[in-house]
Amino acid sequence: MVNFLVRRVLQALGVILAISLITFFILNIVPGDPVQIMLGDLATPETVAQVRAQMGLDKPVWLQYLNWAGNMLRGDFGSSYFQHRPVMELLLVSFGYTIRLASFSYLLAVTIGLAFGILAAVFHNKWVDKVLMVLAVGGISAPNFWVAIILQIVFGLTLKWFPISGAKDFSYYVLPAIALGTRYAASIARITRNSMLEVSKQDYMRTAEAKGLRDWLIVMRHAFRNALIPVITVAGTDLGNILTGSMLIESVFQISGIGKLMVDAIGQRDLPLVQGGVMYIAFICVVIYLIVDILYAVVDPRIRLGGGTRSE
């Protein structure tokens, strides 16, 4: 188990390094010069050149990367060109909002997703199954920012059940969590249902029945435990997407999370902030993949004790 972890951690670090290289390269060929934006309409060619020199933007790309990487290893992500605050501080603040939004919507997604998935599988081909699955497919199909706008108007403004924007306390996160969460609840429900159906055809399910166990014990301990493996994969990548994909929801509900920070930063070409942000998100994604692998081992002993091959 230990070398399994070490190998995965090393691979994770490699991935983060690769992502930092790719991001740095892309940000350098993205058109639009941050200094030009900084100086705005009053910029004259000489001042632009002078400022670029001061910020070290005139050095060759690889040198800039080495400086940046060197600082990063010391924990200094540099400071934002425009907000003049250390990138790490900005990321931590906005990550706080994103974590709250992501955890609410993820909790919603997992609970509803698993519940719908198991119910649909247990009542396979009955009306419950059909209704839940159409709802699930519907959940995936609607563009989440469109759903967000409609929720905001209907439940926020007209019915005044929930605040329409901001992020002060729990009630502020209800609508955004619904808008963001439905899509992932739907995908978890579908994968759970299919996985449960596939598992229920296995021989050990018949053995469980032959033992005369109670229904819910068969469903939960035997079917669900085995169905969990593919669900974990989807749930893992979904968490990654929620953490990074919530930018549209954040902009509609004015929650200054990481997604919105990144979109604005790219708009302003705030390179250190974008670079730091992408590293942060990549780090989160890689950590999630690690957790997913560990969860695999916890749920499936064939991996934990070696010997078994995990199907992709």
Partner 1 sequence: MSDIILDVKDLSMSFFTDQGELPAVNRVSFQVEKGRTLGIVGESGCGKSMTSLCVMRLFPSPPGRIVGGSILFHGQDLTKLSKKEMRAIRGKGIAMIFQEPMTSLNPVLTIGKQLTEAIMAHETVSKAEARARALHMIDLVGIPMPEKIYASCPHQLSGGMRQRIMIAMALSCKPDLLICDEPTTALDVTIQAQILDLINRLKNETGTSVMMITHDMGVINEMTDTVLVMYAGQVVEYAATGELFSRPSHPYTTGLIASIPSLDREEEELNVIPGAVPMLYELPEGCLFCPRCPYATDRCRKERPELSEIAPGHQVRCFRYSSDGKEERP
Partner 2 sequence: MKKLLAAMLTAVMLLSVCAFAGAENAKVLRFGQMDAKVGYDPQTNTNSGATTTEDCVVEPLYYWNDQNELIPLLAEDFPTISEDGLVYTIKLREGVKFTDGTDLTTDDVKFTFERMFKPETLAKSTSMYNMILGAKEMLSGEATELAGFEAVDDYTFKFTLVSPFSCFHKNLGIIYSAIFPREACEAAGADWGVKTLIGTGPYILKSSDATGNVLVKNTNYWGGDPHFDEIDIIFYDNNNTKLMAFENGDIDLCDMTSDLFMQYQGTEVEELCHHFSKLGTYFFVTNNSETFRGEKNPLADVRVREAMSLAIDRDLLCEVIQNGLAVPATGMINQFQLGFTAREPYEHNLEKAKALLAEAGYPDGCTITATIRKQDEADTVQIQSDLAQVGIKLNIEIVDAAVWSSERAAGNVQCLLQGWFPLYADADNNIYTFFHSDYSPAKSCFYSNPEFDALMDAARLSTDDAERQKLYEQADEILSRQDYGSIPLYYPYGVFAAQPYVKNFTVGNLIYHVAYDIDYDMDIYNAQK
Partner 3 sequence: MSKSKKINSQSYYRVSLAILKKNRLAMFCLGIVIALVLIAVFAPWLTPYDPNLNDVRNRFKGPSWEHPFGTDEYGRDILTRIFYGCRISLSVGIVSQLLASLLGYFIGVFAGYYGGRVDSVLSFLIQVFSSFPFLLFAIAVMFILGPGLMNLYIALGLLGWTSTARLIRGEVMRLKNSEYIQACIVGGGSGWRIIMKHLLPNCVPTLIITITMGIPRAILSEASLSFLGLGVSPPTASWGAMISHAQPYIRKFAYYSLFPGFAIIICVLAFNILGDGLRDALDPKLRS
Token output for 224: 């669900």
Which of the ranges 18-26, 51-59, 85-93, 106-114 carries the binding residues for partner 3, by CB under 8 A?
Answer: 18-26
Q: Is 244 in the site for partner 2 (CB under 8 A)?
A: no
Q: Is 308 in the site for partner 1 (CB under 8 A)?
A: yes
CB of 127 to partner 1, least distance (A): 14
What does the per-residue mask of binding to partner 3 show for 269-298, with x meaning CB under 8 A? Answer: ---------x--xx--xx--x---------
| Gap between the Cα atoms of 299 and 304, Å rounded | 9
Q: Is 252 in the site for partner 2 (CB under 8 A)?
A: yes
30 or 137: CB nearest partner 2: 30
CB of 297 to partner 2, least distance (A): 39
* Sign of the torsion formed by the C-alpha atoms of 27, 32, 33 and 38: negative
Q: Is 202 in the site for partner 3 (CB under 8 A)?
A: no
Q: Is 222 in the site for partner 1 (CB under 8 A)?
A: yes
Contacts 24+ apart (CB under 8 A), 222-228: 223/121, 223/196, 223/199, 224/118, 224/196, 225/299, 226/199, 226/202, 227/121, 227/192, 227/195, 227/196, 227/198, 227/199, 228/195, 228/299
Q: How many CA atoms lie within 13 A of 257 on its CB side?
A: 29
Q: Is 248 in the site for partner 3 (CB under 8 A)?
A: yes
User: Which partner from the list partner 2, partner 3, partner 1, none does 103 bind, CB cut-off 5 to 8 Å by kind?
Assistant: none
